[in-house]
């Protein structure tokens, strides 16, 4: 892992790219579409809000929003129905027992999501989900993550509205500050290994902007020890930037602690071993999901997902890094992703 402390920056806000009819047909084929009585724009009609703070009194950049009485009842009924669509294929038997505890709005980031907390009044269990403005590049990122990683992602699309399941875990910045110092050396070594693998997965899938608050760390108790997994929660910067370092979490200043963890606990040979393990696993997943992945990559290759300048900069940089001449022929971000995955499969053929 590169020891150079290069802090990469996202200079411009990425625009939303529309969901074109071919992508909508793909989503319908794989049961990602639905119909609801509420759209993202409906939630923007809130009458008031208050800033939410964390337990230490710091601004979270989330606002607790309120609606007038007439609209509130209609919105909460529609959101309870959305919950059933996301978790039980629209089964309405549980609707009388669901209540919306809160609706929060985030002013930070591209998607500006609403976070909805729905509680079951019978047992006080609650679940969060998000409603966002649909964006084609984010959809491609969610699908690539679902196909190529060990993580399943549950989301639905209706017109220009994205309904996305909450991904459970400890936000990376919170984990680094509050939990990592309490981890044993063995646990720190295991987290370092997972960060190396996470770093490699993001690069291979061209998922950018993985600063510490854009991924979660998940502790999994296994007999007499704890295993850790790292998974992304933000897919706004999928296949957009022209600088290849954007796709490496190691180059963000927010992740310097994680990089130091790798340098302190892993030998270069171990780092290379874990990178190869990721490539081998992804090669197997590419082969096992070939039809769906090819369909998705065809759509990515046909749609504009970044300015042409970004495409040209990235393909030339990747050609220089890998010495793979096929990158020079790419004209879209989708083609670059396909070439990169083909290169992985070529080098890790299953015997």
Can you tell me the distance from the alpha carbon of 141 to that of 208, in angstroms, rounded to the nearest whole number?
10
Enter the tokens of residue 345.
Answer: 């499969």
13 pLDDT more than 80: no
In which band, very low, low, confident or very high, does the pLDDT at 223 lie, cut at 50, 70 and 90? confident
10 pLDDT more than 90: no
In the chain the beta strands, taken as DSSP E runs, fall at 48-53, 59-66, 98-106, 114-120, 126-133, 155-158, 161-165, 170-171, 215-222, 225-232
In which band, very low, low, confident or very high, does the pLDDT at 207 lie, cut at 50, 70 and 90? very high
**Cα 20–chain centre separation:** 21
The average confidence (pLDDT) of the chain is 93
Query: pTM for this structure?
Result: 0.92
**Cα 90–chain centre separation:** 25
Can you tell me the distance from the alpha carbon of 24 to that of 134, in angstroms, rounded to the nearest whole number?
11
Can you tell me the distance from the alpha carbon of 225 to that of 186, in angstroms, rounded to the nearest whole number?
10
Contacts of 206 (CB under 8 A, 6+ apart): 238, 239, 247, 333, 336, 337, 340
In which band, very low, low, confident or very high, does the pLDDT at 280 lie, cut at 50, 70 and 90? very high
What is the pLDDT, as a whole number, of residue 162? 96
Decide: 274 and 200 in contact? Cβ < 8 Å. yes
Closest by CA to 201, choosing from 150, 263, 259, 155, is 150
Mean pLDDT of 61-68: 94
> Higher confidence at residue 11 or residue 219?
219
What H or E segment, with its residue span, contains residue 15? none
Can you tell me the distance from the alpha carbon of 274 to that of 200, in angstroms, rounded to the nearest whole number?
9
Mean pLDDT of 336-343: 96
> End-to-end distance of the chain based on CA atoms, in angstroms?
29
Beta strand pairing status for 225-232 and 215-222? antiparallel
3 pLDDT more than 60: no
Domain boundaries, the chain: 21-133, 170-347
Mean pLDDT of 244-257: 96
Decide: 61 and 113 in contact? Cβ < 8 Å. no
pLDDT tens across 301-323, in order?
999 999 999 999 999 999 999 99
pLDDT tens across 34-48, in order?
999 999 999 999 999
Return the percentage of the chain with pLDDT > 70, whole number.
97
Can you tell me the distance from the alpha carbon of 204 to that of 194, in angstroms, rounded to the nearest whole number?
15
pLDDT tens across 328-338, in order?
999 999 999 99
Return the percentage of the chain with pLDDT > 90, whole number.
83
What is the pLDDT, as a whole number, of residue 5? 56
Find where tokens 């985030």 sit.
106
Decide: 300 and 339 in contact? Cβ < 8 Å. no
What are the φ/ψ torsions at residue 305 (nearest 5 degrees)? -125, 0
Q: Compute CA distances 306 → 115, 266, 299, 334, whole Å.
A: 28, 36, 14, 10
What is the pLDDT, as a whole number, of residue 351? 44
126 pLDDT more than 90: yes
Lowest mean pLDDT among 6-10, 26-30, 119-123, 172-176: 6-10
Mean pLDDT of 256-271: 97
Label residues 119-138 b or e (16+ Cβ within 10 Å = b). beeeeeeebebbbbbbbbbb
16 pLDDT more than 70: yes
Lowest mean pLDDT among 13-17, 20-24, 167-171, 184-188: 13-17
């Amino acid at each position: 892992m590169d020891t150079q402390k290069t802090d990469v920056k996202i200079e411009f806000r990425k625009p939303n790219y529309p969901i074109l009819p071919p992508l909508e047909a793909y989503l319908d084929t794989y049961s990602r579409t639905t119909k609801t009585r509420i759209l993202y724009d409906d939630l923007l009609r809130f009458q008031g809000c208050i800033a939410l703070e964390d337990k230490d009194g710091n601004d979270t950049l989330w606002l607790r929003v309120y609606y007038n009485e007439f609209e509130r009842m209609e919105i909460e009924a529609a959101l309870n129905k959305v919950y059933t669509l996301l978790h039980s294929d629209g089964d309405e038997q549980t609707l009388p027992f669901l209540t919306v505890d809160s609706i929060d709005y985030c002013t930070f980031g591209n998607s500006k999501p609403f976070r909805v907390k729905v509680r079951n009044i019978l047992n006080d269990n609650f679940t969060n989900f998000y409603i966002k403005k649909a964006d084609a590049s984010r959809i491609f990122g969610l699908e690539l993550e679902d196909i190529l990683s060990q993580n399943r992602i549950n989301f639905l699309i209706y017109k220009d509205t994205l309904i996305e399941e909450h991904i459970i875990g400890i936000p990376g910045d919170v984990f680094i500050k509050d939990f990592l110092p309490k981890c044993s050396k063995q646990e720190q070594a295991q987290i370092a290994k997972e960060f190396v693998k996470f770093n490699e997965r993001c690069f291979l899938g061209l998922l950018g902007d993985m600063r510490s608050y854009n991924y979660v760390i998940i502790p999994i108790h296994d007999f007499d020890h704890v295993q850790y997994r790292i998974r992304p929660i933000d897919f706004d910067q999928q296949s957009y930037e022209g600088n290849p370092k954007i796709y490496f979490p190691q180059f963000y200043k927010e992740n310097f602690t994680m990089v130091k963890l790798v340098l302190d606990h892993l030998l270069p040979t171990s780092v290379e071993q874990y990178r190869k393990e990721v490539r081998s696993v992804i090669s197997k997943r590419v082969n096992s999901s070939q039809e769906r992945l090819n369909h998705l990559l065809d759509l990515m290759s046909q749609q504009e997902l970044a300015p042409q300048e970004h495409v040209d900069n990235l393909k030339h940089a990747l050609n220089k890094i890998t010495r793979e001449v096929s990158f020079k022929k790419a004209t879209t971000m989708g083609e670059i992703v396909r070439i990169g995955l083909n290169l992985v499969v070529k080098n890790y053929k299953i015997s």
